[in-house]
Structure 1
């Protein structure tokens, strides 16, 4: 308690005299007559009508930073004193608030043993997390009675999983007190007030001598207390009216900072990339309608206690969520102000172990378990509740264990023990495989492996390397030489030894397909051309060679002996070459064409039996009786040669009967081969000049033994009654 100076003694004597004079009307000093140091008189009565007294505000000192276990109750203080001016020995209410760490619906403050405090009634505000101790009659309750009641205020939390630290603020006034800032916060209801009006009203208000201003919020607990735990939503001291999207605190200590330029808390970039705190609601600030002023969002709209931007008036629709309902006044921190001690705080910490989960091991071993506590010492147990104390300290080394075991770290509350699982995984058995695996020739191979658990991985090396495949059945890429793969089983980080799988690649019998010529009405031998093998022909025969007499496709599977046992398939196509059959021989003067009934490209032709060609047409063939020859090429089927005679008639285009022994007669070469042939010769006027036949085959150019002149003469050649007549003309030259 502060020492009372002589001035205070004089005031006290005056007050006592005043109280004694009006004892029948009042028991305490009228608060309309009292103002606190540096405070503004709140009475609307004229000052000359009453005497006003200035006194020191009370000073509260509280003790009790304690550990708390959930689902229990604990007194919020271990000690409390309220020092006060002798002129004021009591007040009508004291407020106790969970000012940080509040969990709505789980945390609760209440007065235990209320029967021991008949002069005090209680009221619990679940939204604000605030307990009011007050006079039931409106008459001041002494500070000593409040001290006694505060000692009996208890905190409880109904959640078994509660955690963290909770701060209790104990204050004389109604404003919410936040120990982390030492400031007071009060929501003033005033529906429809503009931001400009709210700023002026806040700056004209005082609280126990502290000058007010629109709240400037710079931390999460400050936002929670002034927003989420406040009784209503309202204006706060942020604005970007000066520069669009550059939001500043423009009032209070933050507004005076930076030579009066204010404190930037949001610069308009993504997520507000300034070092200062901002708590915008979803998609805010959106600048819709030139919204330059910060406002705590109405309950039920987005994030509790967060902010949105509004115009100076906000919504003008009565009852709308964006119609201003008031403003938040903050007290404290202004230049020249001394800290106000009408509030004190205590806190409780819920002991909690923060564990480090150990890495699993394989099969068996020891673990070094680690945990730290936010309060006190870690104790290690073998059960979630009760159990045996195994060790003490931030680490605990387990005995050798071969199965997964759960241990528990206790930071001071049995109900809040944290499980630490020491996981022991089993190593899978070494995979069983089929090895070696054989393959005939280049290609892929499907390898198989199995284990009692886990997954199978395949590698190209006996140790290290990267898995090339995962799964029990692995189809390799194409391989052409002996190769080894390795397989292991893995489960939960535990890996077996690797097992090799050898792939042996054998070279299969080397065969090649063939085409074999079969001459008509003959047989041909088919040969696999590999000895010492096993054979299986498409005919069912099992010898190296077989004989066939019909054309077609034949195949033989040639299998090498064990251990290779590789099979190759050879296909032999048997093509039959038939005997040529001459259909006719077309004779056009000295050009002849041999036509066949069964023409094929494996035939070749000749008109002399010596010189053969693939074309069936011959030119400049000598007149007379000739022979056409047709056979299979390259003498493959000599016995299949076919011949046919034909006659070439050569009719001269001119003759020169001048006895020089060259072309002295006109005669048809080859006509001698046709006994019935007859040639009739005429002049240009149709006069019969000569007639040739088997007895006379040439004409000397005379008529009745007289030489005829040089000229063109006509002929008609009749071979027989079945052959068309040949007609033409020739020249006689002298």
Structure 2
């Protein structure tokens, strides 16, 4: 006699909700096993997918689906929630302000600054944002040696010190701790010095990051290139200026003219200019229809 054994029994699968914090600028990988409370079957089984990946765009509650399937093709799928928390600040300045008693002499900005990052870093910037004046200067302390393959360059016109090359997070922390400031300006307003991981400069007014990319681009090429870039899990795009203060920041911090994302919305144009140039949408479209394809920062 022939005995046919049929497996019609579904695997049993129980999931749990979990919370995880982002710890890397490259995102977070969570194995499916971390969601599983119990899984059983009368034969062997497989779990799919094996892993889930998350980045800064996933902060908050996210649903995942996990499937257990046995050798007979019986399968069961269950859902669970994962709460993704923001990472700790990658750059932690020390408390308080640095007092510059002799503005003409170099003073270390923050010798106790810390970096909470385990990855290698490809480039960084230090920028004087708020109240930057001609004559302000950033540099590395005399005698400090940069890691092999890393270079620094300070732009006196933008107040941005750019670090190029790949370095460990500990090497970058040491560099940041040895940044010095001085000024020949008579202006005594408090300066804001911002330390950035990555090639962009950050605007504390809107928490956006900006990067000037040199090269010969058409507007379409620039838009496509911007879309390929990411920073700490954030998706890149051509800058869209929505206020007069943002326009001023871009103008003072970027080293040359560049393409921008464009809009013919008369309210956004008026807001960016800080004026009432256009009374309505029809007027804006009539005057800007030939200019949008060549829009640059102004």
TM tier relative to shorter chain: 0.5 to 0.7
Pair 1:265 & 2:271 matched: yes
* Alignment-derived partner of residue 110 in structure 2: 77
* Alignment-derived partner of residue 312 in structure 1: 293
* Alignment-derived partner of residue 130 in structure 2: 100
Distance in 2, Cα, partners of 1:268 & 1:3: 38
* Alignment-derived partner of residue 449 in structure 1: none
Pair 1:291 & 2:288 matched: yes
Distance in 2, Cα, partners of 1:103 & 1:94: 22
> Which digits, 9 at most, give the CA deviation of each residue in 1:459-492, with x for residues without a partner?
xxxxxxxxxxxxxxxxxxxxxxxxxxxxxxxxxx
> Which digits, 9 at most, give the CA deviation of each residue in 1:32-62, with x for residues without a partner?
xxx98369xxxxxxxxxxxxxxxx8981111
Distance in 1, Cα, partners of 2:218 & 2:277: 30
Gap change, CA 1:223 and 1:152, over 3 Å in 2: same
Distance in 1, Cα, partners of 2:29 & 2:272: 50
Q: Is the 8 A contact 1:57 1:84 kept in 2?
A: no
The one of 254, 274, 292 aligned to 1:230: 254
* Alignment-derived partner of residue 148 in structure 1: 174
Deviation at 1:312? 1.7
Q: Which runs of 4+ in 1 moved over 6 A?
A: 7-10, 266-269, 286-289
Deviation at 1:107? 0.7
Distance in 1, Cα, partners of 2:244 & 2:274: 20
Classify the secondary structure of the residue corresponding to 2:182.
strand
Unaligned runs of 5+ in 1: 11-34, 40-55, 250-263, 275-285, 294-309, 315-323, 329-734
Q: Is the 8 A contact 1:95 1:133 kept in 2?
A: yes
Instruction: State the aligned residue count.
Output: 219
Unaligned runs of 5+ in 2: 1-20, 32-52, 58-86
Distance in 2, Cα, partners of 1:165 & 1:292: 43
* Alignment-derived partner of residue 41 in structure 2: none
Distance in 2, Cα, partners of 1:113 & 1:94: 20
Classify the secondary structure of the residue corresponding to 1:235.
coil
* Alignment-derived partner of residue 156 in structure 2: 126
Q: Is the 8 A contact 2:111 2:178 kept in 1?
A: no
Q: Is the 8 A contact 1:192 1:313 kept in 2?
A: no
Pair 1:185 & 2:203 matched: no
* Alignment-derived partner of residue 99 in structure 2: 67
Q: Is the 8 A contact 2:90 2:115 kept in 1?
A: yes
TM-score by length of 2: 0.57
The one of 189, 198, 201 aligned to 1:164: 189
Q: Is the 8 A contact 2:126 2:193 kept in 1?
A: yes
* Alignment-derived partner of residue 18 in structure 2: none
Q: Is the 8 A contact 2:123 2:197 kept in 1?
A: yes
Gap change, CA 1:208 and 1:57, over 3 Å in 2: farther
Q: Is the 8 A contact 2:247 2:272 kept in 1?
A: no
* Alignment-derived partner of residue 174 in structure 1: 199
Distance in 1, Cα, partners of 2:131 & 2:238: 24
Distance in 2, Cα, partners of 1:82 & 1:167: 19
Distance in 2, Cα, partners of 1:147 & 1:268: 39
> Which digits, 9 at most, give the CA deviation of each residue in 1:564-589, with x for residues without a partner?
xxxxxxxxxxxxxxxxxxxxxxxxxx
Classify the secondary structure of the residue corresponding to 2:187.
coil
Q: Is the 8 A contact 2:147 2:171 kept in 1?
A: no
Q: Is the 8 A contact 1:247 1:267 kept in 2?
A: no
* Alignment-derived partner of residue 248 in structure 1: 268
Higher RCO, 1 or 2 (CA under 8 Å, sep at least 6)? 2
Gap change, CA 1:220 and 1:108, over 3 Å in 2: farther
Distance in 2, Cα, partners of 1:199 & 1:177: 20
Classify the secondary structure of the residue corresponding to 1:114.
coil
Distance in 2, Cα, partners of 1:134 & 1:269: 39
Classify the secondary structure of the residue corresponding to 1:131.
strand
Deviation at 1:170? 0.8
TM-score by length of 1: 0.26
* Aligned Cα root-mean-square deviation (Å): 4.3
Gap change, CA 1:67 and 1:180, over 3 Å in 2: farther
> Which digits, 9 at most, give the CA deviation of each residue in 1:51-83, with x for residues without a partner?
xxxxx8981111252333432332221521111
Distance in 2, Cα, partners of 1:267 & 1:9: 46
